[in-house]
Amino acid sequence: KAGVTQTPRYLIKTRGQQVTLSCSPISGHRSVSWYQQTPGQGLQFLFEYFSETQRNKGNFPGRFSGRQFSNSRSEMNVSTLELGDSALYLCASSEDGTPVNTQYFGPGTRLTVL
């Protein structure tokens, strides 16, 4: 089976712009979670989707949003980018999003905000 894929792998944007990141889960996986990873804060949970519904959300401002499509692919959007949004954005897929089932991570999208 192909692993979790994320596009693009690298992105450079300027403050105030918006960005959309994409995640394709492992075939058959219906849950997709998004995380932000920075050296100072580590891996922080953004949100989780299952069957096109957001089931859980982390403590991020409303500028961070996401969605999931009927084929389980997911997108994450950040509007009005700030310098502090520079990070590695990781998505992870699992069969149903419960802790019993393993999360498989993609390689991440490295976002740099100038």
Q: Should residue 34 be labelled a site residue for other proteins when binding is judged by CB under 8 A? A: no
Cα dihedral 48, 54, 55, 56 sign:
positive
Closest separation between CB of residue 59 and other proteins, Å?
A: 11
Q: Should residue 28 be labelled a site residue for other proteins when binding is judged by CB under 8 A? A: no
Write out the H or E segment, with its range, that includes residue 19. Answer: strand 19-24
Amino acid in the structure at residue 94: S
Closest separation between CB of residue 11 and other proteins, Å?
A: 15
CB closer to other proteins, 9 vs 63: 9
Half-sphere exposure of 46 (CA within 13 A, CB side): 27
Closest separation between CB of residue 45 and other proteins, Å?
A: 5
| Residues in region 82-111 near other proteins by CB under 8 A | 90, 92, 97-100, 102-108
- DSSP string spanning 62-73? TTEEEEE-TTS-
